[in-house]
């Protein structure tokens, strides 16, 4: 069975493996990303980290780079399509890059990190595919973890780690001294 990018094929085995490997000590359940849930989440929790996991590797194309261009050879396009098709299974399981964001990464203050994470999570709602079976959340000891599966059509998965806000944080005044 082949999973060509753009075919929108959910892989429950890969989702289960991803959620199991986190070992966050919590049980993940499918969730619906409603506006009210997102607002509630960011009102009660602050982001500690969110990350984008890329699954967009490309196969090696024999003969490319030796002064030859695959599209100039007879049947080149069909040959490359077959190479990409054969590579698709590896692409779906091999994370080749992770971008990490959060209040400690890139020097972003907490408010900016929260807004960026919220914007990314809201962006999932506009995905051109059904979100059913793609978005999961788990909670443990004042922390919430959210996972979104998009590697089949975007070549990316998303993770958010949030911790419960301290109610006193809302009352603190910012002082220059």
Domain-wise residue ranges, the chain? 12-57+94-170
Question: Under a CB-based contact definition with an 8 Å cutoff, are residues 66 and 20 in contact?
Answer: no
pLDDT, one tens digit for every residue, the chain (177 residues): 333 444 467 888 888 888 886 666 788 999 999 999 999 999 999 999 999 999 877 777 776 666 666 666 667 777 777 777 776 777 777 788 899 998 977 778 999 999 999 999 999 999 999 899 999 999 988 899 999 999 888 889 999 999 999 866 544 433 333
Beta strands in 13-81 (DSSP E): 29-30, 45-54
According to DSSP, the residues that pair with 71 across neighbouring strands are: none
pTM to 2 decimal places? 0.77
**CA 98 to mean position of chain CA atoms:** 9
């Amino acid at each position: 069975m082949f999973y060509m990018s753009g075919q929108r094929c959910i892989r429950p085995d890969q989702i289960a493996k991803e959620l199991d490997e986190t070992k966050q000590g919590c049980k993940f359940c499918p969730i619906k990303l409603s506006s009210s849930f997102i607002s509630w989440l960011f009102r009660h929790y602050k982001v500690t980290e969110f990350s984008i996991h890329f699954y967009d590797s490309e196969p090696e194309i024999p003969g490319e780079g030796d002064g030859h261009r695959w599209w100039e050879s007879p049947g080149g396009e069909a040959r490359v399509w077959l190479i990409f098709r054969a590579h698709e299974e590896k692409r779906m399981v091999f994370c080749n890059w992770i971008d990490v964001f959060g209040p400690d990464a890139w020097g972003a203050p907490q408010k900016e990190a929260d807004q960026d994470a919220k914007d990314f999570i809201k962006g999932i709602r506009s995905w051109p595919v059904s979100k059913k079976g793609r978005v999961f959340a788990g909670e443990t000891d004042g922390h919430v973890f959210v996972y979104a599966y998009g590697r089949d059509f975007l070549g990316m998965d998303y993770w958010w780690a949030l911790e419960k806000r301290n109610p006193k944080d809302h009352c603190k005044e910012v002082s220059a001294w």
